[in-house]
Amino acid sequence: MFYEDEVTLRVRYKETDQMGFVHHSNYPVYYEYARTEILRRKGATYKMMEEMGVMMPVREIGMKFLTPARYDDLLTIKCVMNEIKGARLRFDHEIRNEAGDLVNTGFVELVFVNTTTHRPCHAPQWFVDLFKAE
Residues annotated as part of the active site: 17
Q: What angle do CA 2, 78, 111 make, to 5 degrees?
A: 55
The neighbouring-strand residues paired with 10 are: 74
Indicate the DSSP class of residue 66.
-
